[in-house]
Amino acid sequence: MTSTDSTDSIDGTSGTTGAVAGSGAEDVASLTRRVEAWIADDPDAFSRNELTAVLQTIRSEDETVREAALEDLRDRFSGSLQFGTAGLRGAMQAGPNRMNRAVILRAAAGLAAYLVDSLGAQDSQPEHKHGLLHRHEPAAPARPKIVVGYDARHNSHTYALDSAAVFTAAGLDVVLLPSALPTPVLAFAVRHLDADAGVMVTASHNPPADNGYKVYLGGRAVTDAGQGAQIVPPFDALIAAKITAAPPAVQVPRAEEGWSIAGPEVLTAYLDAVGALADDTAPRDLSIVVTPLHGVGGAVVDHVLRAAGYQDVFLVPEQADPDPAFPTVAFPNPEEPGAIDLSLAYAQTLGADLVIANDPDADRCAVAVKDHRAEQDFATNSGGDTGPREGWRMLHGDEVGALLGELVASRETSGLLASSIVSSRLLARIAAAHGLDHASTLTGFKWISRVDGLVFGYEEALGYCVDPATVRDKDGISAALLMVQLADRLKAQGRTLVDALDDLARAHGLHLTDQLSARFTDLAQIPLTMQRLRTSPPASLAGSAVIETVDLSDGVDGLPPTDGLRLVAEDGSRVIVRPSGTEPKVKCYLEVIVPVASDASVDEVTEARHTAAGRLQAIRADMSSALGISPA
């Protein structure tokens, strides 16, 4: 969730939105007036009652209770949700700095106004008939077309219906997807239906209390390589300006009907497009455990794999059905510790070959495999009675990205591979080895997916685009199919995905990556942490002198400026530090490269991995010290 202190805010207020900070009586009175004004303009009774109850609490005689309520209100009204990673995202509560119906209504009104204004009537064109020049009245322009999708989180369907009602009232041609579906289906529908825009109501892998609003532009709104991708500047600022100009939520016009509900053919067309990626030569001899982590991808992934000929597909029972409470995981993100423990235990019980985990909106894909090195490491170190004891481990996003990159590159004779600046440098080496180009982009698929000539793109946060012609975004479902088929072919050779990674190490050197991150409850600490690092960066990484310190906010390598810092050591180790675009975190992306002989044995590759792991651990300690955070 991001906020702003500028006067252009989604709540339509003027002046500095942070002016209520402080504990004086005047500040409380000012805050109270702003809250009461919001309540008067909020069409949702639940939100009105919620804020009214908090207002009553600030009058409590208990000072602790009163101050907690004031702090809550100050945070809700400290700014407003802004377009971050291609849309809005935040906790579902009342107030301008939260996700709620009032915010959604004004966001939809602003997006509709932008589409109507930017896709207005064109000048009439002369017509030649019988050798004479005729000029006729301009035809009415086609109504802007928009597709709306939603996941199974709390309020997602409500926010989608509110959006459809606002878009319809504004004169748009609106198609609402028929049920809670994965984000890749919405991204596919934007291009498949030649829509000018798309909205997906989802908070992806965020906590249960959050929701979000992803915006895509296509059709006539964007006609270059970014057609059907999530929004980037200047579109975000143009839409935000329209949102600022929108009336209070209670005054936003809403239609009671008039939008259409997509039939089953849209999902069928998506399934057919993914199915077309299947390799007929794969033996179909693989046992697969799948978990959607209580999200909307379970049935779709199951269908795709079975349609491709895989019969031994097992959904984790406790996590198979959508559940917005995400009851079995502390955090519904496959990257988080413990998130796939149930999957690993289930896979061990079944004797499965592979685990596939999607995040709740199924645009990300995690892969877990058996790795004899993990089993050996467990024997050496203490651990819990879970998957690692049997040798299971989840592949890092960079490992999956390299495997998929090699797979796609080996099939292509032209085109370009792309990855984000925080992802491993291995993909660039893979591209060069196959005579293909490589592009490094800013973090986020809104940048990766719009690279001209893209045939494959990924970012280390488990996002992969394996079919950019049909889905101009990350797609955890098509990626899952390709990983299953790769593992299937390797199994037929008596090999595994781990062996394929060893092959890449022999060809390009062992690239090992890791992350270090700090989560903040006080968002003001994020820029302070970044400034502290810029002022006093580490002089060495794991004992190797830092020879390059680049402030990414200056704009480097032809990329737009972004908040981040890049450190490169003499031995080739690299660290990139940046604030997360979707979570209140500062993240450090670590990478080391260890040379490996082309004919190295398994033991020699294993030794290189241990060397790299030790170097990464030392870099984690260096960066923890530099940032003043725990290395955990």
Looking at 208, 239, 267, the residue that finishes a domain is: 267
pLDDT of res. 82:
82
| Cis before 234 (ω within 30) | yes
Catalytic residues: 204
The answer on 224 and 296 residing in a single domain is no
State yes or no: pLDDT of 381 exceeds 70. no
Q: Which amino acid is at 233?
A: P
| Secondary structure of residue 459 in the 3-state scheme | strand
Q: Which two tokens stand for residue 470?
A: 């049909």
The answer on 294 and 389 residing in a single domain is yes
Looking at 453, 478, 503, the residue that finishes a domain is: 503
- 276 in a structural domain: no
| Secondary structure of residue 348 in the 3-state scheme | helix
The answer on 167 and 300 residing in a single domain is no
- 81 in a structural domain: no
Contacts of 607 (CB under 8 A, 6+ apart): none
- Per-residue pLDDT of 99-137, as tens digits, reads 999 999 999 999 999 999 999 734 434 443 433 444 455
The answer on 361 and 331 residing in a single domain is yes
State yes or no: pLDDT of 434 exceeds 80. yes
The CATH number that applies at residue 182 is 3.40.120.10
Q: Which of 345, 331, 400, 330 is nearest to 367 (CA)?
A: 400
Q: Can you tell me the mean pLDDT for 242-261?
A: 97
> What separation, in Å, do the N-terminal and C-terminal C-alpha atoms of the chain show?
23
pLDDT of res. 140:
65
- Per-residue pLDDT of 42-63, as tens digits, reads 999 999 999 999 999 998 999 9
- Per-residue pLDDT of 543-601, as tens digits, reads 999 999 999 999 988 999 999 999 999 999 999 999 987 678 899 999 999 999 999 99
Bridge partners for 419 per DSSP = 440, 458
The answer on 99 and 231 residing in a single domain is yes
- Per-residue pLDDT of 491-531, as tens digits, reads 999 999 999 999 999 999 999 999 998 888 888 889 999 99
- Report how many domains make up the chain: 4
- Per-residue pLDDT of 326-372, as tens digits, reads 999 999 999 998 999 999 999 999 999 999 999 999 999 999 999 98
For residue 386, what pLDDT band results from cuts at 50, 70 and 90? very low
For residue 375, what pLDDT band results from cuts at 50, 70 and 90? low
N residues, the chain: 632
The answer on 516 and 428 residing in a single domain is no
In this prediction the pTM is 0.90
CB atoms within 10 A of CB 200: 33
- Cα-based distances in Å from 285 to 301, 309, 316, 352, 354: 17, 9, 20, 11, 11
For residue 630, what pLDDT band results from cuts at 50, 70 and 90? low
The answer on 519 and 408 residing in a single domain is no
Q: Which two tokens stand for residue 38?
A: 């919001």
The answer on 424 and 514 residing in a single domain is no
The answer on 581 and 522 residing in a single domain is yes
Q: Would you say 173 and 122 are in contact if contact means Cβ atoms under 8 Å apart?
A: no
Eight-class DSSP state of 141: P
Q: Which of 278, 500, 291, 506 is nearest to 405 (CA)?
A: 500
Q: Which of 47, 17, 58 is nearest to 34 (CA)?
A: 17
Q: Would you say 486 and 503 are in contact if contact means Cβ atoms under 8 Å apart?
A: no
- Per-residue pLDDT of 62-74, as tens digits, reads 999 999 999 999 9
- Per-position b or e across 55-88, b if 16+ CB within 10 A of its CB: bebbeeeeeeeeeebbeebbbbbbbbbbbbbbbb
The answer on 311 and 192 residing in a single domain is no
| Least confident residue range of 130-134, 141-145, 353-357, 535-539 | 130-134
Distance, CA of 122 to CA of 134 (rounded, Å): 17
The CATH number that applies at residue 588 is 3.30.310.50
The answer on 474 and 499 residing in a single domain is yes
Domain residues for the domain of 595 are 509-627
- 34 in a structural domain: yes
The answer on 357 and 223 residing in a single domain is no
Backbone angles phi, psi at 90, to 5 degrees: 180, 180
* CA diameter of the chain: 89
pLDDT of res. 583:
74
Distance, CA of 484 to CA of 490 (rounded, Å): 10
- 11 in a structural domain: no
- 6 in a structural domain: no
For residue 377, what pLDDT band results from cuts at 50, 70 and 90? low
